[in-house]
Amino acid sequence: MASQNARALTAKNTRGRLRQDRFAPYFFISPFFILFTIFFLLPSLFAIGISFYKWKALGVPEFFGTRNFERLLTGDPIFWQAVKNTIFYAVASLFIVAPLALLEALALNSKRLKFRTFWRAVYFAPIVTSTAAIAIVFRMLYNREFGFLNELIMALGGMPVDWLGNRGVVRFSVMGVVLWRWTGLLAIYFLAGLQSIPDELYEAAAIDGATQRQRFFHITLPSLRPVMLFVAVIVSIGSIQIFDDPQILTQGGPANASLSVVQYLYTRGISDLLYGYASAVGVFLFVVIFTLSMVQLRLFRGGER
Amino acid sequence: MVEPKSSKLLGTILLNLGVALGGIIMAWPILWMISASFKRLNEIYAFPPTIIPRNFTLANYQRLFTDWPFGRWYINSLAVAVLVTLAVLFFTSLAGYGFAKYRFRGRQPLFLIMLSSTMIPFELILIPLFILMSRLGWTNSYTSLIIPFMAPALGIFLMRQYITTLPSELMEAARIDGATEFGIYWRVMLPLMRPVLAAQAILSFLGSWNSYLWPLTVMRNRDSMTLPVGMVSMMGSITAGSEPPVGASMAAATLITIPVIIVFLFVQRYYISGLTAAGVKE
């Protein structure tokens, strides 16, 4: 009886509210679409548009065809230096930072580790620090004459290194900051992956007499495949967008040896006010990142089936 | 096949030693930074370094507020981070609720458009957005750091994932009681979303607090800078011959990072759940 009443009431209410019901969800999601259109979609189209113009700030845009891109791709050694540096950052992140993060996650997940909560806090704290602040701290530690690192090397009997002034070394110095700030974040993803592996798998393997090494290679690693894929994608997209660390450590120097593509875009667009040319760099970045995202989508879809 | 006891013990020792050594390396820059912020220049560069300063000084901190508008930068950063976080919480939870609990025409394609918007790298729109901000007269104003970033797609995704798991029966009950659709969101759903709101709040706050490229682009006046931008400008403004503000910049770095690290230690759980929910799942 009561439920019948309730149902009748619901029906009446639903009819009365039909209009509101129909429009409510559109109303709820509209802020995103309004903000997205004004501040992201239209600017993106605008960026693609002006990449075909020669436009220096305050001047009048002049149609330039594909010449911005031609110059960028064939006649701009600084851009290619920046691309090379950025590829270096991406490769080093993929093959040094990510494996170290996996190792870190394995260690922090181990039941044989004492003070696990404490060590997790120590290793994860760098994630929340400001890159600007940390890069300045590293600048002091890397200082050629008085820096802690060189003092330590000399105390151990080595030769001091010009961490930020040597063209061959500077990219490794940038990676030092990246390593310090990013391993913790990636380790969190790996840790989540590790904790989602059911214990029964390990128990069953132990009953079957598998050694620890066998369990690692036949259970842990294969189970982590989706996480590894995810980490590989965010690491490559993140490294392609690197800006803060080399900007604050070296401003891209010496002689552009640590300059990243985003730094180059910033210099051309915001410092030199070459809007058209800088937008061509932006379009280049977009194409690379979009392609990577599509590959990611493919891989994930493939992984599910 | 059980491993021999001695090799297992050796492994445990190596594991603990390795983690401790790595932990010292991870903690070292932070410890060095805090310690240097209380030292004079000659002691900062002394070797071997002292962890507890021999000649403890607060001069670096005092200089921050007399030689630079550091208090102003702190207020700027805090205000922007708080306002952007509040706006993000409201707009992402509202949109997440819309996508999770309503069936409407165009839902699937709209959701896909929203998700694919994350593939646009911010750098592509850096120049046009900068031009737009200049035309609107928003440069050097909080609005340029807040309004474009109030409804991030990843945040909406995170909210939707969570809200889908909440029971719909409560909504029906509220509807019978005559609640409006917005009222259901505000009074029924929002209180149930506390964990995911906490995770989102931490992610938003940190993103804003630590962001550098965009504030560097639009906040040009000394007084309108945020902390990271202002701090880096301290180092850049050294004229030849003058003493580099090493101690002061370490004091600034300490004031930017330490409060955040302390809060992080308490809310770690929410932060990590937010990260992994936004990332790994689906």
Q: Quick: pLDDT tens for A224-253.
A: 988 998 899 889 999 999 999 999 999 998
pLDDT bin (cut points 50, 70, 90) of residue A207 is confident
Tokens at residue B83, please? 């306002």
**CA gap B25, B145 in Å, rounded:** 35
Cα-only R_g, chain A: 26
pLDDT bin (cut points 50, 70, 90) of residue A216 is confident
Q: Is A63 near chain B, with CB under 8 Å?
A: no
Q: Is B49 helix (H, G, I), strand (E, B) or coil?
A: coil
**φ and ψ of B244, to 5 deg:** -65, 140
Task: Decide if B1 and A211 are in contact by the 8 Å CB cutoff.
Answer: yes
Specify the pLDDT at position B243: 61
Q: Is the pLDDT of residue A6 over 60?
A: no
Q: Is B237 near chain A, with CB under 8 Å?
A: no
**CA gap A144, A164 in Å, rounded:** 8
Q: How many CA atoms lie within 13 A of A50 on its CB side?
A: 27
More confident residue, A43 or B277: A43
Cβ A127 vs Cβ A181: under 8 Å: yes
Specify the pLDDT at position A20: 55
Q: Is the pLDDT of residue A104 over 80?
A: yes
**CA gap A290, A294 in Å, rounded:** 6
pLDDT bin (cut points 50, 70, 90) of residue B134 is very high
Break chain B into its structural domains and give their ranges.
Answer: 77-239
Q: What is the mean pLDDT of chain B?
A: 90
Specify the pLDDT at position B81: 97
Q: Is B112 near chain A, with CB under 8 Å?
A: no
Task: Name the superfamily (CATH) of residues B77-239.
Answer: MetI-like (1.10.3720.10)
Strand partners, A56: A274
With tokens 């706006």, the residue in question is B87
Output the CA torsion A222→A224→A226→A229 (10° steps).
-100
Which residues in chain B touch residue A20, judged by CB atoms under 8 angstroms apart? 180-181
Q: Is the pLDDT of residue B32 over 70?
A: yes
Strand partners, B168: none
Which residues in chain A touch residue B138, judged by CB atoms under 8 angstroms apart? none
Specify the pLDDT at position A305: 40
Task: Decide if B91 and A22 are in contact by the 8 Å CB cutoff.
Answer: no
Q: Which of A14, A36, A140, A289 to mutate to test the interface with B (most CBs of B within 10 A)?
A: A140
Specify the pLDDT at position A2: 47
Q: Is the pLDDT of residue B237 over 80?
A: no
pLDDT > 90 in chain A, percent: 68
Q: Is the pLDDT of residue A191 over 60?
A: yes
Q: Which of A13, A119, A285 sits opposite B124 (nearest CB)?
A: A285
Q: How many CA atoms lie within 13 A of A19 on its CB side?
A: 1
Q: Which of B117, B206, B231 sits opposite A132 (nearest CB)?
A: B231
Specify the pLDDT at position B8: 82
Give me the residues of A, 67-96, that contact B with CB < 8 A: none
In this structure, how many other beta carbons lie within 10 angstroms of the beta carbon of residue B56?
Answer: 10
Q: What is the CATH number of domain A77-304?
A: 1.10.3720.10
| ipTM score for this prediction | 0.90
Q: What's the pTM?
A: 0.90
Q: Quick: pLDDT tens for B185-214.
A: 999 999 999 999 999 999 999 999 999 999
